[in-house]
């Protein structure tokens, strides 16, 4: 089947998670980064406006310093994010350069998107970059983002950041790359009879309970956060596809309307 509405999409946000950027042994997944650069550069060449929302700064920072475990001290995590972000952008720049694609970096905090003047400035910058055929690469500014009293700067997770960026730029589609093929009725890593939802048109309490239920590895920042991101998009009349970041080249098939992953779209 073809998801005909996706065929109209011209402005696309792609969000990639740490699990798609870092191998199980803690090393950087260079193959995935290279494939991501190739696919997004190819889409840009075809006339699509593409924005990349990336995680991975702390994971890359751990790799740079040869550390196996994420520290528990917040300041040390912030230092790792600062170190890792430089290396991550260096990798992206190198990989995209292979395909003659220019990129830029924007590091956001929640107060930037909440405060009207700074939000407008961010929108203007992103629109200007897209007009120049540059792919903006966005991450949360983890080195300084904190939540203190009434001054909230953290988005909470990059799934939410992906949805907020999609809202910010008026994207036609958010493609969320995860470590799972889509949204299932139960954890497919535990249950052989788990089935995937091809389409979701309403974020119900039943779905939320299923995503965060006991025994589900999706409960903390997994499927729960992806449903929250989908709700942000629904509230803004936007759409999302959740799919597996292990098969990055399928992004082109998704944009072509092929039924891959779980399609989140409200019925009018």
Alpha-carbon distance 223 to 184, whole Å? Answer: 9
Annotated binding-site members for substrate: 55, 142, 158
Number of domains present in the structure of the chain: 1
Q: What CATH number does the domain containing 131 carry?
A: 3.40.1160.10
Annotated binding-site members for ATP: 15, 178-179, 220-226
- Per the listing, tokens 């939540």 go with 147
**Can you give the pLDDT of all 268 residues of the chain as single tens digits?**
568 889 999 999 999 999 999 999 999 999 999 999 999 999 999 999 999 999 999 999 999 999 989 898 989 999 999 999 999 999 999 999 999 999 999 999 888 888 899 899 999 999 999 999 999 999 998 888 765 434 344 556 889 999 999 999 999 999 999 988 999 988 888 888 989 999 999 999 988 888 764 334 343 347 888 999 999 999 999 999 999 999 999 999 999 999 999 999 987 6
Alpha-carbon distance 250 to 230, whole Å? Answer: 20
Read off the pTM: 0.90
Domain that holds residue 173: 4-264
Annotated binding-site members: 15, 55, 142, 158, 178-179, 220-226
Measure the CA angle with vertex 25, ends 20 and 28; round to 5°: 50
CB burial readout 241-260, b (16+ within 10 A) else e = bbbbbbebebbeebbebeeb
């Amino acid at each position: 089947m073809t998801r005909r509405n996706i065929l109209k999409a011209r402005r696309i946000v792609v969000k990639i998670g740490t699990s798609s950027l870092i191998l199980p042994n803690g090393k950087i997944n260079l193959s995935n980064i290279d494939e991501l650069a190739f696919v997004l550069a190819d889409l840009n060449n075809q006339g699509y406006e593409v924005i990349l929302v990336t995680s991975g700064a702390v994971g890359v920072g751990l790799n740079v310093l040869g550390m196996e475990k994420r520290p528990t001290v917040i300041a040390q995590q912030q230092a790792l994010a600062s170190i890792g972000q430089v290396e991550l952008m260096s990798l992206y720049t190198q990989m995209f350069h292979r395909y003659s694609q220019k990129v830029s970096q924007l590091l956001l905090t929640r107060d930037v998107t909440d405060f009207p003047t700074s939000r407008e400035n961010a929108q203007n910058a992103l629109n200007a970059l897209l007009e120049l055929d540059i792919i903006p690469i966005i991450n949360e500014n983890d080195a300084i983002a904190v939540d203190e009293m009434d001054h909230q700067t953290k988005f909470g997770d990059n799934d939410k950041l992906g949805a907020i960026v999609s809202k910010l730029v008026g994207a036609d589609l958010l493609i969320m790359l995860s470590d799972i093929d889509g949204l299932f009725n139960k954890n497919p890593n535990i249950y052989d009879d788990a089935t995937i939802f091809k389409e979701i048109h309403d974020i119900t309490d039943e779905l939320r309970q299923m995503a965060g239920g006991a025994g589900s590895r999706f409960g903390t920042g997994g499927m729960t956060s992806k449903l929250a991101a989908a709700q942000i998009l629904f509230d803004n009349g936007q759409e999302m596809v959740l799919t597996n970041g292990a098969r990055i080249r399928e992004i082109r098939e998704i944009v072509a309307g092929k039924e891959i992953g779980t399609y989140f779209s409200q019925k009018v």
